Structure formats: structure tokens, C-alpha cells
């Protein structure tokens, strides 16, 4: 776009917010590209510099700096394409160097999808190494946390609560499927444009996991808040949930309409993200209250609405639906994805035949990830009782029979 003379300040601002840098940094990048014709970042002149080989190896390790440092310490330089030049840096130095590279705009392609540039197979394998808190890896050890913590929030405000996703079996991993990557791209664009996004799809397709993963990849300076709503909340209950999400005194303000509205409008002034999960619980009049807050001239907070049947719920509130910038559907797993995704999800599926997995998906799971998590739990328990056996058609049929009394 710059070569065509079409770059404007709006493009620079959106790019800066997406990359987590200042607008001046974006313009400086463009100026350096015009002057030198080089779009890659110039290497650091002093101190330890992260080479392309090290960066590629870090990407293969899923962003795990400690694992990269262990490889350097063990002198496995041949795996990195070259022997280390000079002494091995300390773990703190390596952390700082990589953090500076990321702040300058350098992206790990396998841990942060960017417009489909990363190979999906490599990207899935890298993020499969990241387990949810409370799970273990294939060796029975707690996996290291390679992702940054959720975006921090100012004192007195509330952030996103830990993922409440049940994987039903130890050692299971969150798999970064193509569907998850699409949700990440959609939410990243919506947050940069400070708009409203609606993530919808059938129950059990992985909407909540995808949304939390996408929000976790936002720049750390972007605060993320979660509003937990009751079933069919009244307007005072919805107002209380929003006040709680922003860390405001809900008890004191819930029944003081004017004061609560002013407090929420002031809270929406700050750039950030408000996630409303299970939005299908909210009736049309209360949804219109969200529309009024999002419509305030001073609002800078992006709104992410997520839920099973959320698109049908918003259809009953056309004023809010017309303001949704991004509609993102989370479909079921395609049959071609099932064998690969399951083997990334849990190692017990490594011994299963593709034809058996596809048969179970066609007759029982039907591409639903939550159903496959339950099947994994039953298969895991059966193999634990009979060690040395593998996953076959009979074991899968037995696991499927335990999911529903209906054929």
C-alpha cells in the first residue's frame, strides 16, 4: 500500500495497535524500508543478538525460551544450523533479547498466526505443547508456560478469569486448529478497530477456547475483562455484572441507575476488551443496554460477544446486530482434520488407525471437539485398566456407547 501511495494515518494507527507498538514506530519502519529497501529488522549492534536460526528454533519450541537456553547450554548448536558464536548468554539475557525483538515487531510465526503465513501443521504442533493449567505432559510433568499471562489491568479492575474448559483427561492439550486461527485473526482486527465481534457456533465446537486464546495473544497493555452473566438476567443484574467486570462497586451502584450508567460510560472510555460469554442468555431489552454503552461517543472498549446461537440471539436485537463489525462462525471439525487434531490433542490417539477415528467421528462425535474430549476420557480410562493394549474399533465403540442413551 505504501508503494501505491495509499497508506494513511488510519492504517498506521491500526497497524500500531495490532502490533502493540506506537504509531511513530510504524512510520519509522516505513521510512527505513523506503530508504534501504529492506523490510527485515536490522541486527543489534551491541550486546547479544538473536539470529534468524535462533529465532526459527524458538518458533519450533513454541516460544519456550527456557528450552532454547537449555539447548544452547548443552551445546546443541548443530540443531540450530550453526555453532554458537561466543559464550552462551544467561537465561535473563536471552529473555530480554527476545522480548526486545518482539517489542520491535518481530513475530514468532508458529505461536502467533499472522494472515495464514505460518504452516498450519507446524503451527498446530507448536501450540499443542501448551497445556492448560492443571494438566501434565506425556512424561507426567507440568508443562512450562510459554504464553504470556493475560493482559494486565489497572489496579481495582477485573481481568479474564482462567479458562473454565474441561478436557476430562490428564495430558490433554489445547490444539490450535485452523478454526482457532481464524478466530484469532478476526478478534485481532476487531480490537484494533475498536468494534464489536460476535463469535458463534454450536455447543462444544471450541468457541470459548478460541476466544480466550485470541485475547491472550493481544498486546499486554490491552486490558481484557470478562462479564459473567446469569440466565435471563434483569437489567439491574446485567448492570451489576458489567460493574463487577470493570472492578466497580456493584453493590453500591446496582440500584442507582444514573450513577451506575455514568460509571460504566466512564469505564468504557479506556481502550480494552470486554468479553461477554454465553450471550444467548441475555434477552433483547438487556442487549440494547449493551448497545447504548457501545454507542456512547467516548467509548473506546471493544466488545466481544460469544455463545452458542449468539447470532440468533442478536437477531432479536437488530440495533445491536447492525453494529457488529465481525461475525465469526466456529464450525465443527472437518473429517480430514480429525486424525491429525486428535493426535495433537492427546498421545493415546497415536496408535489409533485413521479409519477407526473417522468411523467414530461419523457415527458419534460428528466433528464436535467436546465430544472427542469425552471419548478421550473413556478411552484413557479403558487403557489404564488394560495397559499394553491400543486403541481399536472395539474400544472406540465402547467409549461411544457411554456418551448418550440414544443411538
245 contacts 227 by C-beta, under 8 angstroms: yes
Question: Residue 388 — pLDDT band, cuts 50, 70, 90?
Answer: low
Same domain, 231 and 303: yes
Same domain, 220 and 301: yes
Return the CATH number at 170. 3.40.50.300
**Residue 152 in this model has a pLDDT that exceeds 80:** no
349 contacts 392 by C-beta, under 8 angstroms: no
Same domain, 82 and 127: no
Is the residue at 113 inside a domain? Answer: no
Is the residue at 365 inside a domain? Answer: yes
Contacts of range 78-83, beta carbons closer than 8 Å, 24 or more positions apart: 80/53, 80/54, 81/53, 81/56, 82/51, 82/53
In 3D space, the residue among 102, 231, 74, 216 whose CA is nearest the CA of residue 159 turns out to be: 216
Is the residue at 115 inside a domain? Answer: no
Rounded Cα gap, residues 340 and 355, in angstroms:
13
Of 55-64, 105-114, 293-302, 381-390, the one with minimum mean pLDDT is 105-114
Task: Give backbone dihedrals phi and psi of 106, rounded to 5 degrees, phi first.
Answer: -75, 135
Same domain, 149 and 280: yes
Domain closes at, from 279, 300, 329? 329
Same domain, 289 and 392: no
Task: Give backbone dihedrals phi and psi of 273, rounded to 5 degrees, phi first.
Answer: -135, 135
**Strands, DSSP E only, in 114-249?**
196-201, 224-227
Same domain, 75 and 128: no
Same domain, 343 and 305: no
Q: What are the pLDDT digits (tens) for 231-244?
A: 888 888 898 899 99
pLDDT at res. 326: 92
Of 84-88, 142-146, 154-158, the one with minimum mean pLDDT is 154-158
The total number of structural domains that make up the chain: 3
Rounded Cα gap, residues 183 and 70, in angstroms:
34
| Element containing residue 354 per DSSP (H, E) | helix 354-360
Domain closes at, from 329, 358, 374? 329
Same domain, 72 and 217: no
Domain that holds residue 126: 120-134+142-329
| Highest-confidence segment of 91-100, 323-332, 390-399 | 323-332
Question: Residue 134 — pLDDT band, cuts 50, 70, 90?
Answer: very low
Is the residue at 73 inside a domain? Answer: yes
Dig out the grid coordinates for 140 from the structure. 507426567
Domain closes at, from 269, 298, 329? 329
pLDDT at res. 145: 41
Give the SS3 label for residue 195: coil
Same domain, 304 and 207: yes
| Highest-confidence segment of 3-12, 313-322, 382-391 | 313-322
Q: What are the pLDDT digits (tens) for 171-219?
A: 787 787 888 888 988 998 898 888 999 999 988 888 888 898 888 888 7
**Residue 80 in this model has a pLDDT that exceeds 70:** no
Rounded Cα gap, residues 188 and 266, in angstroms:
24
Is the residue at 251 inside a domain? Answer: yes
Same domain, 235 and 290: yes
Give the SS3 label for residue 308: strand
Q: Global pTM?
A: 0.59
380 or 76: which carries more pLDDT confidence? 380
Is the residue at 316 inside a domain? Answer: yes
Is the residue at 351 inside a domain? Answer: yes
Mean pLDDT for 284-312 is: 91
Residue that has been written with the C-alpha cell 486424525 in this structure = 339
In 3D space, the residue among 241, 279, 278, 275 whose CA is nearest the CA of residue 260 turns out to be: 241
Question: Residue 138 — pLDDT band, cuts 50, 70, 90?
Answer: very low
**Cα 400 → chain centroid:** 30
Mean pLDDT for 310-320 is: 90
pLDDT at res. 328: 92
Same domain, 161 and 243: yes
Same domain, 244 and 357: no
Q: How far apart are the first and last CA of the chain?
A: 56
Is the residue at 1 inside a domain? Answer: no
Amino acid at each position: 500500500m505504501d508503494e501505491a501511495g495509499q497508506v494513511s494515518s488510519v492504517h498506521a494507527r491500526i497497524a500500531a495497535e495490532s502490533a502493540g507498538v506506537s504509531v511513530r514506530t510504524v512510520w519509522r519502519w516505513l521510512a527505513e524500508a523506503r530508504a534501504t529497501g529492506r523490510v527485515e529488522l536490522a541486527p543489534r549492534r551491541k550486546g547479544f543478538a538473536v539470529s534468524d536460526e535462533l529465532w526459527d528454533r524458538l518458533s519450533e519450541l513454541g516460544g519456550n525460551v527456557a528450552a532454547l537456553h537449555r539447548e544452547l547450554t548443552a551445546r546443541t548448536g548443530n540443531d540450530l544450523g550453526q555453532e554458537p558464536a561466543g559464550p552462551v548468554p544467561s537465561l535473563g539475557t536471552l529473555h530480554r533479547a527476545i522480548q526486545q525483538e518482539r517489542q520491535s515487531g518481530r513475530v514468532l510465526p508458529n505461536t502467533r498466526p499472522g494472515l495464514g503465513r505460518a504452516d498450519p501443521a507446524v503451527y498446530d504442533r507448536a501450540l499443542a505443547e501448551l497445556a492448560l493449567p492443571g494438566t501434565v505432559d506425556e512424561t507426567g510433568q507440568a508443562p512450562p508456560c510459554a504464553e504470556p499471562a493475560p493482559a494486565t489491568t489497572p489496579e481495582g479492575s477485573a481481568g479474564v478469569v482462567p479458562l473454565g474448559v474441561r478436557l476430562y483427561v490428564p495430558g490433554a492439550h489445547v490444539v490450535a486448529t485452523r478454526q482457532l486461527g481464524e478466530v484469532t485473526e478476526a478478534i485481532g482486527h476487531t480490537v484494533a478497530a475498536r468494534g464489536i465481534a460476535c463469535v458463534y457456533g454450536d455447543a462444544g465446537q471450541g468457541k470459548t477456547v478460541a476466544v480466550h486464546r485470541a485475547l491472550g495473544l493481544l498486546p499486554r497493555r490491552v486490558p481484557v475483562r470478562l462479564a459473567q452473566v446469569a440466565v435471563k438476567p434483569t437489567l439491574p443484574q446485567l448492570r451489576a455484572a458489567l460493574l463487577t467486570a470493570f472492578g466497580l462497586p456493584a453493590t453500591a451502584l446496582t440500584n442507582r441507575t444514573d450513577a451506575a450508567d455514568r460509571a460504566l460510560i466512564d469505564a468504557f472510555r479506556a481502550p480494552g476488551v470486554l468479553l461477554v460469554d454465553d450471550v444467548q442468555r441475555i434477552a433483547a431489552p438487556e442487549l440494547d443496554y449493551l448497545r447504548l454503552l457501545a454507542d456512547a461517543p467516548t467509548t473506546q472498549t471493544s466488545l466481544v460477544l460469544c455463545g452458542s446461537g449468539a447470532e440468533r440471539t442478536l437477531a432479536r436485537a437488530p440495533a445491536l446486530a447492525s453494529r457488529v463489525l465481525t461475525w465469526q462462525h466456529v464450525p465443527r471439525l472437518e473429517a480430514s482434520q480429525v486424525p491429525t487434531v486428535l493426535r495433537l490433542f492427546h498421545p493415546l490417539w497415536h496408535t489409533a488407525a485413521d479409519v477407526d477415528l473417522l468411523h467414530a467421528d461419523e457415527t458419534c462425535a460428528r466433528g464436535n471437539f467436546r465430544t472427542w474430549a469425552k471419548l478421550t476420557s473413556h478411552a484413557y480410562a479403558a487403557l489404564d485398566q488394560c495397559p499394553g493394549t491400543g486403541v481399536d474399533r472395539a474400544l472406540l465403540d465402547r467409549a461411544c456407547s457411554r456418551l448418550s442413551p440414544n443411538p
